[in-house]
Structure 1
Amino acid sequence: MTAELHGTRVALLATDGVERIELEQPRGALHGAGARTEVIALHTGEINARQMDIDPAGTFTVDRTVADASADDYDALLLPGGAMNPDQLRTDPDAVGFAREFMRAGKPVAAICHGPLTLVEAEVVRGRRLTSWPSIRTDLRNAGAEVVEEEVVIDGNLVTTRGPDDLPAFCAALVAQVARARTPQFA
């Protein structure tokens, strides 16, 4: 384990239906770099994970509800996908406001697959360059984003990827982006 992100706290905003690998693999990369993570969800207890949006894939313990969380308590935000997860988050005012806080503060925000849907609802993708799962690209374009077909896209504080196949590159970009944000020259 390196200490590159020692002392860094990252919020993992997810709820029932989260794609397991999209929460688990970035969380492991963050832990491996020395960051602390917390699962922030719509409810207390546990959230149910999925594999390929269909098969049950265990649970994750919730550390805090989004209603009780503030972007001020974290250095970065991860928005994993799965189709059901962001569809629920985007209808919750607290979740939408939480994501908006990170974007407005210029803190690193990383979104995987369907994860950018919460950012669409937060009205923070206009003029931003990003990628996503193919089925939500029209939503992103309609919200004013420039959508590209690339493995990982970094636009200022925003890091996005298409889906699980891109996770190795995404995890490396996420750790690097959070590390860069800790230095004064990050913009």
Structure 2
Amino acid sequence: MANETLDGLKVAILVTDGFEQVEMTEPRKALDEAGAETRIVSPKDGQVRAWNLTNWGETFTVDMPLDGARTEDFDALLLPGGVINPDKLRMLPQAVAFAKAFFDAGKPVASICHGPWTLVEAGAARGRRLTSWPSLKSDLENAGAEWVDREVVVDQGLVTSRKPDDIPAFNREVIKLFATPTGPSRRGAAE
């Protein structure tokens, strides 16, 4: 990952209470170290609280409320998992529309664990090969995806992984995909 640079890349991290802490903090750290500017976007004001394996974890400051976030202001999207977080997000039309807009614009997206639930609601799973926490297999297949049991899958501008143990591979592929110029979605790529 040391050779990849994400200088100037703006990444939205869409979460609400109950995201798996390590599935946000470790990818965010990797993105920041590669030069990206990460911002927590949330339907909640002020702070969001993580889930840490079997109990509530740390709280994190919301950088931008979802109702003020514009997809045009970001180059890529990160969707951490946890059970609670994506289940809440997929029930919020504004969160689903925000995620869908990244796919519509051809911008890269990364999702881990239960995060692909939001992809199902956004209509972005259909026709893609991906992975997730195993319990989502039927949901994803019913949404038209090809589900595979691999630590990381990259397909059509989307990186997916199954669980926290997969984070090193996930981070590697996220950095690689996000560093690849993707036309107009990567500001400055043509400069």
TM-score scaled to structure 2, two decimals?
0.92
User: Which runs of 4 or more aligned residues in structure 1 lie more than 2 Å from their structure 2 counterparts after TM superposition?
Assistant: 181-184
1:15 — aligned with what?
16
1:132 — aligned with what?
132
Amino acid at match of 2:26: Q
CA distance in 2, matches of 1:181, 1:81: 26
Residues 13-45 of structure 1: CA deviation (Å, up to 9, x unaligned)? 000001000000000000010000000011111
SS at match of 2:26: helix
Q: For residue 2 of structure 1, report the CA deviation from its aligned partner.
A: 7.3
On the 8 A contact 2:4/2:179 being kept in 1, the answer is no
Give unmatched runs, 5+ long, in structure 1: none
Amino acid at match of 2:85: N
1:142 — aligned with what?
142
Q: Are 1:172 and 2:188 matched, yes or no? A: no
CA distance in 2, matches of 1:88, 1:112: 16
1:161 — aligned with what?
161
Q: Are 1:42 and 2:43 matched, yes or no? A: yes
TM-score scaled to structure 1, two decimals?
0.94
On the 8 A contact 1:110/1:174 being kept in 2, the answer is yes
Query: Superposition RMSD on alpha carbons, in Å?
Result: 1.6
Amino acid at match of 1:64: M
Amino acid at match of 2:167: L
Alignment of 1:1-187 (within 5 A): 4-52=5-53, 54-181=54-181
SS at match of 1:181: coil
CA distance in 2, matches of 1:158, 1:28: 19
Identical residues among aligned pairs (%): 52
2:189 — aligned with what?
none
